[in-house]
Amino acid sequence: MEIYSFYFCLMLKSQLLLYLSCAKGAVSSRGKEPIFNRWLSFLRWAFMPPLFSSCVARGISTVIGALLFLLVASLLLALALRAFNETVLALNEVANNQRAGVEQLGIKVSYTKWSRILASDAIGSVDVIQGAELTLLDPSLLNALDGQAIRVAAQRLDGEGGGGGETVQLIRNGGFDEDFKYWTYSPVEWWSIDNGRAHCRADLGGGSQAKASLNQTFTLDFTPTTAVLSFQYMWDTFPPGQEKNFILQVLLLKNNQIVWWGDRNLVKQERNQLHEFRADLTGYLTEPGSYTLAFVLFMESKQKATFYFWLDNVSLVASRQPPPGVPGAAYQLSLVINLKSGITLQGSLYVSSNASVFLEVYRRDGGSWLLTEKRLLEKDVQTSVRLEGGGPFMLLAYSGQSFELAMDYLDAEALQLASVSVVISNLGTEPVDIYAVWLRNSSWEKRVDVKSVLLPNDSLEINFDTYLSLYRLYEVRVVTGTRTHIVRLTTSGG
């Protein structure tokens, strides 16, 4: 307010002086200059003393100069701060880029461990290709080194040296003597065992439709020379005549793709009678792999009715060509050891013979057999041979004289699922800040906070209290101070 009053007074004095100057000029022209000069001198003395005018001028100059100085200083300070911040950011970016450039991590994910396993838990079946079974081919006979062994007699080779082939049953528990072991079925509440047969019962309302299925997956480790499917079935409805459609469809699938199918319209067949089904599948089981045999029932009612279906004696028998005869051998024996699904083995099989024989051990490798070990067995001397991998394994023994081969004990470990462990190794030349490790898939994720500095050549193990599922895709993320390292893996039994 005082500043505004000061400037108002200055303006008023200036206007007054201007007016008097004009009046002076006007009066001077009339010859009255002395009187106005005195008045003018008086007003100058009264309103603007010389000393006060010079002080005001100097004060205004000082204030303006101070304001200009502060303005220029503020601008220079702002420019200096901006330059400093940009320099710091640039240096940080350079440092991060340098660290990122040398940041190298090794990431290893473990989700399995080796555990002791009994032969009966590891082996699915023992199939004799050449030779004669002298005992049951029961894997439990290999659980202990106790003299209870699987024994097979060698086969005499024919004139061409090859010997006869052998048939293999690909379907397990086809007679349903072990309930629904090895089978999957739906809807679960419709299926049961009735007098040793698989039995499906479905209650349908009028004009209703329904579907039921029964499946088994099996592994074929050879290309069969023949393959024949057979089974028995029976059907009924109550009350009779209320079935509009009742169809049985039989499917053979490989990798979820149908390679063969057949069907029966049950309504056109006699009810409450046992019917036979037989089909040659030789041309459809053309290569080793995993196959599924599926029985599918389609039912449609006219009025409210109950549908019945029985299935029994399911068989899929395949024959395979035996290994070629070894030149100079008069007797030969070959058998295949199939592991259960998902088993990866490392162990020793203890074998012996009542005569000197050559023994070769093979492991299935794609579409062929890979020789892994060859030994000369001396008479009545027990020897161990290695079985490693996911199988199947084939033993081929031959000699110039007749012999029997005994398998007494499988001392083995299997690779089984365990809690997840992530090992992080610093392979670079600079320390790495580890903040967190993520384990995730498409449906869930888990995080472990680390907040640790990993020096060069050091390792850090992070444990997750969880088990992974087989044949699933997972992702591991390691979050550091400069980036996120990602590793993806698909789980398997091996």
**Among 415, 438, 470, where does a domain finish?**
415
Q: pLDDT band for 35, please (50, 70, 90 cuts).
A: low
Q: pLDDT band for 11, please (50, 70, 90 cuts).
A: very low
Q: pLDDT band for 9, please (50, 70, 90 cuts).
A: very low
Same domain, 179 and 160: no
Which of 164-168, 413-417, 443-447 is least confident? 164-168
How many CB atoms sit inside 10 A of residue 264's CB?
16
The answer to the question of residue 346 being in a domain is yes
Same domain, 283 and 379: no
Contact 299, 88 (CB under 8 A): no
- The length of the chain in residues reads 494
Identify the pLDDT of residue 260: 96
Same domain, 354 and 393: yes
Higher pLDDT, 214 or 467: 214
**Among 319, 341, 372, where does a domain finish?**
319
The answer to the question of residue 185 being in a domain is yes
Is residue 448 over pLDDT 90?
Answer: yes
Return the CATH number at 453: 2.60.40.10
CA distances from 436 to 248, 439, 479 (A): 55, 10, 5
Q: Each residue of 121-167: pLDDT tens digit?
A: 999 889 888 899 999 999 999 999 998 999 999 999 874 434 456 67
How many CB atoms sit inside 10 A of residue 112's CB?
19
Range of the domain at 215: 169-319
Is residue 8 over pLDDT 50?
Answer: no
Whole-angstrom distance, CA of residue 387 vs CA of residue 350: 11
Whole-angstrom distance, CA of residue 333 vs CA of residue 323: 9
Contact 284, 259 (CB under 8 A): yes
Same domain, 245 and 311: yes
Higher pLDDT, 422 or 159: 422
What is residue 72's three-state secondary structure? helix
**Among 289, 319, 349, where does a domain finish?**
319
Residue 367 is encoded by which pair of tokens?
A: 């579409």
Identify the pLDDT of residue 7: 44
Identify the pLDDT of residue 62: 75
The answer to the question of residue 60 being in a domain is no
Sign of CA dihedral 185, 191, 196, 197: negative
Residue 408 is encoded by which pair of tokens?
A: 């007494």
Angle between helices 33-47 and 2-28 (to 10 degrees): 170
Same domain, 374 and 271: no
Whole-angstrom distance, CA of residue 333 vs CA of residue 404: 9
Q: Each residue of 211-251: pLDDT tens digit?
A: 999 999 998 878 888 999 999 999 999 999 899 999 999 99
Is residue 259 over pLDDT 70?
Answer: yes
Q: What is the DSSP string of 108-150?
A: EEEEEEEEEE-HHHHEEEEEEEESEESS---GGGGSSSSS--E
The answer to the question of residue 463 being in a domain is yes
The answer to the question of residue 270 being in a domain is yes
What DSSP state is assigned to residue 268? G
How many CB atoms sit inside 10 A of residue 388's CB?
16
Q: Each residue of 56-66: pLDDT tens digit?
A: 556 666 767 77
Domain tally, the chain: 4
Same domain, 298 and 336: no
Same domain, 331 and 287: no
Which of 79-93, 215-229, 267-281, 419-433 is least confident? 79-93
Average pLDDT over the chain, rounded to an integer: 84
Return the CATH number at 290: 2.60.120.260
The answer to the question of residue 64 being in a domain is no
Which of 53-62, 106-115, 163-172, 316-325 is least confident? 53-62
Identify the pLDDT of residue 468: 87
Which residue bears the tokens 């081919």? Answer: 137
Closest CA to 193 of 219, 214, 164, 210: 214
Same domain, 227 and 307: yes
Residue 166 is encoded by which pair of tokens?
A: 């052998």
Q: What residues pair up with 486 in beta bridges, in sequence order?
A: 477
Same domain, 190 and 154: no
Same domain, 188 and 307: yes
Which of 102-106, 243-247, 305-309 is least confident? 102-106
Is residue 28 over pLDDT 60?
Answer: no
What DSSP state is assigned to residue 30? T
Q: pLDDT band for 97, please (50, 70, 90 cuts).
A: low
Same domain, 315 and 345: no
The answer to the question of residue 337 being in a domain is yes
Helical (H) or strand (E) element with 85: helix 50-102
Same domain, 290 and 372: no
Number of H helices and E strands in the chain, helices first, is 4, 28
Return the CATH number at 347: 2.60.120.1090
Residue 127 is encoded by which pair of tokens?
A: 């199939």
Q: Each residue of 188-202: pLDDT tens digit?
A: 999 999 988 999 999
Contact 458, 430 (CB under 8 A): no
The answer to the question of residue 88 being in a domain is no
Whole-angstrom distance, CA of residue 286 vs CA of residue 281: 9
Q: What is the DSSP string of 209-220?
A: EEEEEEEEEEEE
- Whether the upstream peptide bond of residue 456 has omega within 30° of 0, thus cis, is no
Burial 121-142 (b: 16+ CB within 10 A, else e): ebbbbbbbbbbeeeeebebebb
